[in-house]
Structure formats: structure tokens, C-alpha cells
Structure 1
């Protein structure tokens, strides 16, 4: 693995810790960021490790009050990082790594505040009446990650449409999150969570019993899934406009991560009922194949051709 030669041993150790967290807990994410140069890869690992800490608080077995307190404690830590009050002697490796990454890259740390806000929505057990309501949540927990990542990637000088790069990164985050929601229908239902908009559930007769991930008799669950897949595909098509604005390796990272989720979406579309039987996933060899396609630029060119055909139609 490439190493920094200009950082101290404590900072290198902090990054190593974050990379270990990423490698063991974020298989899809890790496949993408391994395509990046060392400084960007480690900054992305620091972002993931902090985000994972926030998610783990929200998903834990603690009571609501304790979760709120811990999330606000994490927000205070973020404030210290933002204010430059964390140095290499801090005992929290995630804070050390994120502080160093924020010093090296123009990372919009306020987006991590949005992530905390999104997890607080989970803690409160919020549900969503419409897609517009759900978009607010998705922008907090996923669109924010897209914008944070863009801070690490940067855009090519003079990139056409570069002023919209943050918007495209946000939209790509929404596409990934909606794919996650479809993939995790059963797991979320077992935890008492329903993310799909109430209006959409009602439209396909899936409201009653959905908390148990058992569509009622006569429900058009397949129609519901296909409806949400089409929505996710539209978000992917819009978000992929970001790719030409990135350098080759950053673009490859984005194409790989998004490509994995697009293939998950393909599987879900082919067999909608699979999400009720368990978590849909890709084998490691297929993820590696997607990563290679991303590095070669094949996925980006394929998506661009599809976008052109869509506009022509």
C-alpha cells in the first residue's frame, strides 16, 4: 500500500485504523476507494469511519435518549474538528484522521452534520408520506456523503458544467440510498422501519402488513419494486453526469461504487420478491469486475451512450 512520507506516525496510524474499519465493514465502498491514490483513499476511509460511527449509534440497541446524547456528542466532536481543536495527539484515531483529511482537502464538514440529522430521523422512527419527504432523509444520509466525497475528489479545471458537480454528487447519493432501501426491505421491516413512501405503498396496495415485509393478498409488490427501480435509474442517469468532471481515478472510484449498486438494482428488478427472502448482494468476483470496468472507463462510456439514447427517444 502507498504510504504518506510527509505525515507523522500518529496520523499514519489513525489512517490505518480507518482503512481497517472500511475494509471490514464497507465491502462495496472499499472496492471503489481502492482505485484512488493514497491521499484520497485514506481521506475517504476517514470519512467512512466517522460516518460509520454515526450509523452504528443509530442502529444500536440503546434507548432513544442515549442515542440522542451520543449523536450530539459526535456532533460536538465534529465541531472540534471543524474548529481545528483536534491534533495528532488526540486519542480518537477517527478524529485525528478526519482532522488531517479536512486540512488537506476542501471537505464540506457541515455535510456530516446533515448525516447526524438523518440518523436522528431514524432514532425518532420517522416515516415518509411522499418521495419528496423521503428525499430529505436520503439527502441527509447519502447525498451528504456524495458531497463530502466530491470534496476529496475535486473536479477537473474548466470542467463543463462543473458548477453543478455538487448537485450531481448529491443525486448519485440518492440513487445509492434508494437502492439500499429496496435491498434492505426485509431487514428494515424486522427492525420496525419502513422507508418507502406511504403514497407509493398505497398506490400498489402494499400498505397493510408491510411492517412485517409481507405484502397483503392482492398487493402488487412487483409493481411497487419496478416503480422504485425506475426512479432509482433516473437518479443514476442524472448523477452520472458527474463522471466527466472528475480525474480518471476519482471517476473510476465513483463508477465502481455506483456500478455495484446498479447491478444490485438489476438483480432486484429481475426478481423483486428476492428482497423479501433476504439481502440481495453481489459476489466478490463481480464487484472486482465492476471495479476494473470503472478503472478502464468502460462503465462511464456505456452509461453516457445510454443517456444519449434516452435523450434521443
Structure 2
């Protein structure tokens, strides 16, 4: 039985992941809920306005205490630690994740794609690795799992440009922005040079597609009963990317997200294809 707190964190935090996850078998579904509630809680602290810095570090301390076997009274942390133990997560993955979340407190931009890669590893690739462990996938699947996490995160960066700018963050290499003649990615900058802004976002979407295709090349490692929700989430991110590619300026008008009907109908289609 999924704890109500964990359920509510997941449902509130992500439409695509939540509704896709419902198509996993119950035991797997509970594990995914535990994983997502942990990462979402940490993310919410650093994305709050103003940032809840003390709360974030207290959360990280509760994780360390629970990992050491202490009772914390935090159902989100203790559920995650139980999951990590049962599924054999490498503790370094969680350390990398928390380090990337801390970066959102102290780092506002990245000069090169190499600089960004460390953040991407901790904020998304390790989540893919944790999912691979939840699903008991072979090590041969891990590179694809990392690519899928990274690809989805990158679409989120593109979709959430306006939201991230309001938080004082730019998740795209500054040297690439300069190459496209952009000082920043604000609505004003996009209005001044709509062609340059559109070309820049389409360049970033090509990077996403490379990672996405590398991820999908590894879908054969995923058992059929697990492939439906993963492919559904993957398809929804492809839809988001296509929507933005057609009209890059949309990122400054609204948050591009698939509807619940689109997600559920996509899962139904993938069920028939499986």
C-alpha cells in the first residue's frame, strides 16, 4: 500500500511520470513512487521561492541518518532508503543526486556542455540507473538508462526556460548561446532575435534527440511488462520536443505538457503494440 504522502508528492509533481507509472505492476509502481517522492522533495526545496536552503540540508541530513540505520520519522526518506537497500542502489548515485540539487543553490549557469554534464549525471542519469535497478535490468542496459534520464531532463530544461530564468538559472552552455548571438534566453531576447532564439532551441533539441535515440536503442533490455510505461513516458517527451520545435517561442507563452488523455491513450497504444 502506497503511503498517502508519497502518493500525493508524485501526483502533484509530474503528470507524465505519474500517469505512465500507473501502468507498471503494483510492486514496481510502489517502488517508483518511493523513488520519485524522494527526488521530487529535494528538488522542491531548491526550486522554492525563496529557496528553502535549510530545509534542503536538513533533508540531506535525514537521508544520511536513515542510511546509517537511524529512525528519522520522515516517510519519504525512510521509504527511499528501504528501496535503495532492497534494490542495491550504489550510494554514490544518491550522493551525486544531492550534490546536483545543491548546485541549484550555488550555481546559476554553466560555461560549456562539459561543465553541465556533471549536473546532468547527478540530476537525471543516476535516476535512470536507479530505475534500471528497480526493474532488475542487466548492467548492459545502464548506458541506455542514463541516456534516457539525461534526454528527458534536457527537454525539461528547454520546456522550463522561463521558469528557470525566474529562479536565476540557465541550464544551457553559455558558449553555445554566444555562438547563436544570444546574451540570454529571456522573452525579450527571443523577441529581439526570434530567428536566433529558434535556431538555438532547435540545436538543443538535436542534442536531446541524439540522447533519446541512444536510450531507445536499449529498450530491448526491458521486459515487455515494463516497456509500456517507459515507452509511454518517452513518447510524451518526444511529443513535447516536437511541439517546441514547431514553435520555439511557445516556451515563453506556456508550459508545454501532454494532457492526461494523451498520456493514457499513448499507454493504451503501446499496450496494443507490445
TM-score calculated relative to the size of structure 1: 0.80
Alignment size in residue pairs:
273
Which of residues 81, 103, 116 is equivalent to 2:66? Answer: 81
1:278 aligns with 2:254: yes
1:126 alignment partner, SS class: coil
CA offsets 1:184-203 (integer angstroms, 9 cap, x no match): 11111222221111111111
User: What does residue 307 of structure 1 align with?
Assistant: none
Unpaired runs of 5+ residues, structure 1, are: 1-11, 156-161, 299-313
Structure 1 contact 205–216 (Cα < 8 Å) conserved: no
CA offsets 1:244-301 (integer angstroms, 9 cap, x no match): 1111222222111111111100101111111121211222211112222333446xxx
Q: Which structure's CA Rg is the greater one? A: 1
Unpaired runs of 5+ residues, structure 2, are: none
User: What does residue 190 of structure 2 align with?
Assistant: 215
1:173 aligns with 2:155: no
Give the alignment of 1:143-292 within 5 angstroms. 143-155=125-137, 162-207=138-183, 209-211=184-186, 214-215=189-190, 217-218=192-193, 220-292=196-268
Give the alignment of 1:22-101 within 5 angstroms. 22-62=10-50, 67=53, 69-86=54-71, 91-101=73-83
User: What does residue 7 of structure 1 align with?
Assistant: none
Whole-angstrom distance in 2 between the partners of 1:79 and 1:233? 36
TM-score calculated relative to the size of structure 2: 0.91
2:239 alignment partner, SS class: helix
1:105 aligns with 2:80: no
Alpha-carbon spacing, 1:101–1:163, altered in 2? closer, same or farther (3 Å): closer
Alpha-carbon spacing, 1:40–1:108, altered in 2? closer, same or farther (3 Å): farther
- Structure possessing the higher relative contact order (Cα contacts under 8 Å, 6 or more residues apart): 2
Tell me by how many angstroms 1:49 deviates: 0.8
Tell me by how many angstroms 1:26 deviates: 1.6
CA offsets 1:56-114 (integer angstroms, 9 cap, x no match): 11112346xx61x433332232223333434xxx5322133223323432233432221
1:280 alignment partner, SS class: coil
